[in-house]
Chain A
Amino acid sequence: MNGRTSLKGYIEIDREFCKGCKLCIEFCPKGIISLSNNLNQKGYHPAYFTEENTKKEKRQCTGCSICAIVCPEVAIEVYRG
C-alpha cells in the first residue's frame, strides 16, 4: 500500500432495496454499475456492481462513494482500502 493509485474499493448493492432508478449508473465516474436483467421481489430491475468478481488489482472502483451519496434507497454500502 503506497501512493494514491493503490486505493481500491468495492460496493455492495442490496438488490431487494434497489428500485432501479439508475441514478448511481448515471453518476458513477467510472461507469462500472449496470442494470440487471433479472427482477427483484418488487418487480424492479436492480442495479449491480460489474466488478464483483474482478481481482482487486484490476478493479477500477476507487470507493469514492458517489453512488451511495445519490442512492435514494440507501441500498449501497461502500468499502475502501
Chain B
Amino acid sequence: MKKVFSRPRSLRKVPFHYCPGCGHSIIHRLVAEVIDEMGLREITIGVPPAGCAVLAYFYFDFDMGESPHGRGTALATGLKRALPDRLVFTYQGDGDIAAIGTAETIHTANRGENITALFINNACYGMTGGQMAPTTLLGQNTTTSPGGREGLRDGYPIRLSEMLALTDGSAYIERTAVNSPVNIRKTKKAIAKGFKVQMDGLGFSLIEIVSPCPTNWRMSSHEACQWIEKEIIQYYPLGVIKDVTKRGQGC
C-alpha cells in the first residue's frame, strides 16, 4: 500500500501545545505543506506573533524571527527589504493584527510591502483567556463581555480584510476558514496563491483564516466548527476580496 498522507517535512515531529480541536495546528500543517510543495523551504522566513502561536518556531523547520506584539508586519518589512529574494510571511492572530498592530498592518498594506500576512481570526483573545477582541461578534459572550458584545458600548466587529482591500498597495486578499475538509482545502489553495503573489513581486497579500477556538468559546471541537458555519461566516463572508492578477479581465 502507498502512503498518501503524512507529516510535511517542514513541520518538526513534536507534539503541538495547542488545545484539542484548535485551528492553529491545522494552519501550521497547511503552511508547511504549501512550502514543501513549492520547494521554498530554504528561502522562507516566518514571523510568529504574540498570542497562542508564539511558539510556532518550535514547530516549523525553517527560519523564524519573533516580533513584539502586533509588529509582525513591521519586522517582515525589514526582513523583506534586506533580503528581497526570500519568502517572508507573518503569522498573526486577530488581537495581534487587528488590535495592537492595526497601525503597522494598515501602513504595510498601504506601502505595498511584498510580504504575506496570515491573519488567524478566532473572534477572541485566545492565549489570555478568551477576552473580547475587535473581531468578536455582536452578542458573543466572552470573559470581558459577559452579557454579549453590544455595538454602542463595545464597538462593532472589524472587517480588517475589507479595509485593507481599499489600499492601493494590497495585491491579494482572501478570507477562508478551517472548519470543514472543503474549507481546509480552500485555505491551502489560498495560502499557496498568497505566497505565489509575493514571489511574483505583486505586493502585499493577506489571507484571513477563520479558526475555531473550542476552549474559549466553551464548545466541543465539532460544535465550534458548526458555530463558524452558522455565525461567523454570516458576518465575515468567505471568498476572494481582492485579486490584482485578475484585474482587467472582467471589467
Contacts and interface: CB of A to CB of B under 8 A. Distances in A.
B159 interface: no
Contacts of A19: 19-21
Given A23-B221, A73-B16, A78 B5 contact: yes
A73 B3 contact: no
Contacts of B222: 22-23, 26
B20 A20 contact: yes
Contacts of A9: 1, 4
Contact of B1 (A10, A21, A68): A10
16 contacts: A19-B19, A20-B20, A21-B20, A26-B225, A27-B181, A42-B15, A63-B4, A69-B181, A70-B26, A70-B180, A72-B21, A73-B16, A73-B25, A74-B11, A76-B5, A77-B5
A20 B29 CA distance: 18
B4 A79 contact: yes
B3 A78 contact: yes
Contacts of B3: 77-79
The B interface, classified by DSSP as helix, strand, loop or mixed, is mixed
Given A22-B221, A79-B2, A74 B25 contact: yes
Nearest to A11: B5
Given A23-B221, A42-B15, 18 more contacts: A10-B1, A19-B19, A21-B214, A22-B21, A26-B221, A68-B5, A70-B26, A70-B181, A72-B23, A73-B15, A74-B7, A74-B11, A74-B25, A77-B5, A78-B3, A78-B6, A80-B1, A81-B2
Interface of A: 9-10, 16-17, 19-23, 26-27, 42, 44, 63, 65-66, 68-70, 72-74, 76-81
Nearest to A20: B20
B192 to A, nearest CB: 15
Contacts of B214: 21
Contacts of B144: none
Interface in B14-73: 15-16, 18-26, 29
Contact of A69 (B1, B11, B184): B184
B221 A21 contact: yes
A73 B13 CA distance: 10
A72 B225 contact: no
Contacts of A23: 21, 221-222, 225
B221 to A, nearest CB: 4
Contacts of A77: 3, 5-7
Nearest to A27: B181
A44 B20 CA distance: 10
A65 B4 contact: yes
A16 B13 CA distance: 12
A64 B19 CA distance: 26
Interface string B110-144: 00000000000000000000000000000000000
A79 B1 contact: yes
Contacts of A17: 15
Which 4 residue pairs are nearest across A and B when measured between Cβ atoms?
A: A21-B21, A21-B20, A81-B1, A78-B5
A80 B26 contact: no
Contacts of A65: 4-5
